[in-house]
Amino acid sequence: MTRVSKVSNEVMLQVRNTLPNPTSTDIQREITKTTGVVLDESTIRGRLIALGFPLSKQTNPTPTVTSNPAPTKPTIKNGSIRQYSVPDAMKKYVPGTDQFKAYVVRPVDDRLAAHYEAGKTPLTQGKQGTGKTLSHMYYAYRSGLPFFLFSCHEDMKLHKLFGDKTIENGSIKFKEGEFVRAIQCPSVILFDEINAISNANTFDFHALLQNRELFVKDADNGNGRWYKLHPDCKIGFAQNPKSSKYIGGCIKPSNFLGRCTFITYPEFEKKQIIDALIKKHPDMGKDEAKKYQQFFTAVCQAVDKAELPIDISIRQLFNLIDLRGMGLKESIEDSILSMLDAVSQPAAKEAIFKLAQSVWIELLPPEQRQQPKNFMAWIKGGF
């Protein structure tokens, strides 16, 4: 008979330290064998993380430094990120190093990793361009997990991802989707824009998150089938909170939100923007990167002050630089200014361009090429 007495932290650590390369399953088995107490694997992982001890006692080798290195795989504050073994057929979905050459690691990345390592379902939120989606992908890269991104929409139905009916040789058959393979191995699955889904279509998520399984009645050619998540299949969500600038989503009810943990993503700091620019464009000097950062910051402040219905994100800044080969004026026009046409605010384009002229005096007519005495006055002047 299973005893109900608790297992102390000291006993748990002692069991962990006696195993050569422990996993939560190994620790669970040894605790049950020695104490008779059955602990859930997620409880074991969570308690060890809280104590600051990783499941594995192995350490990662020191990475080789190159002229433009990808980010290293640092340890999170409350433990180390576990490295997962995935089937060969799924390794092609593991994010590669090249995708993160310009990635700027922030404390929020370690917070997200801590949520995943503790077996939680994180919901990341924040304005567009704050790095939510890429942060989930970066966790998958750090842990060696396949990454799958599903962009949500109002009529999206979760059970349709498992497969759908099709006609084969005159008969109706159920054909499973790639989602089934994704959930049956260690992986990271991100549902982006989760608040775009109608609340009526979120109930399947309740069962999937609560029980880590879902019954699909059309599966097995109409006989129905239970699909279970792999123990190391990790599910996350991302959303832009509903606001005057983002009106495409609905607020999720408490019975959905109560199954998640939450991380609000901050905007990039000035130094982080400069670091990202130099990483992405090694030929760019720090002084030039600072000019782009000043313009970007000035535009964001002006847009907020004027209450324009757009967010200027770091994506638009990267677009500006990627297009600079056709000329600075044209790249500013095609990356940022024309967004104002898209939201029927063409009158604001002139004011934004004046901010650019205050940073790059070569954009001014020759007779006016003199740096303004008070640059911040240009920013605070508004529209």
Residue whose structure tokens are 């393979």: 181
Q: How far apart are the first and last CA of the chain?
A: 74
Q: Which residues contact 33 (CB under 8 A, 6 or more apart)?
A: none
Q: What is the pLDDT of residues 205-238, one digit of tens each?
A: 988 898 999 999 988 888 899 999 999 999 999 9
Domain 88-264 sits in CATH 3.40.50.300: yes
Report the SS3 class of residue 45.
helix
Beta bridge partners of 171: 168
pLDDT score recorded for residue 142: 95
Q: Which of 113, 110, 103, 293 is nearest to 188 (CA)?
A: 113
In this prediction, the residues of the chain whose per-residue pLDDT falls under 50 are 1-5, 57-68, 72-75, 78, 379, 382-383
pLDDT score recorded for residue 12: 76
Q: What is the pLDDT of residues 124-146, one digit of tens each?
A: 999 888 999 999 999 999 999 99
d(CA 75, CA 94): 19
- Kindly tell me the sign of the dihedral angle through the C-alpha atoms of 91, 97, 103, 106: positive
Classify strands 163-168 and 147-151 as parallel, antiparallel or unpaired: unpaired
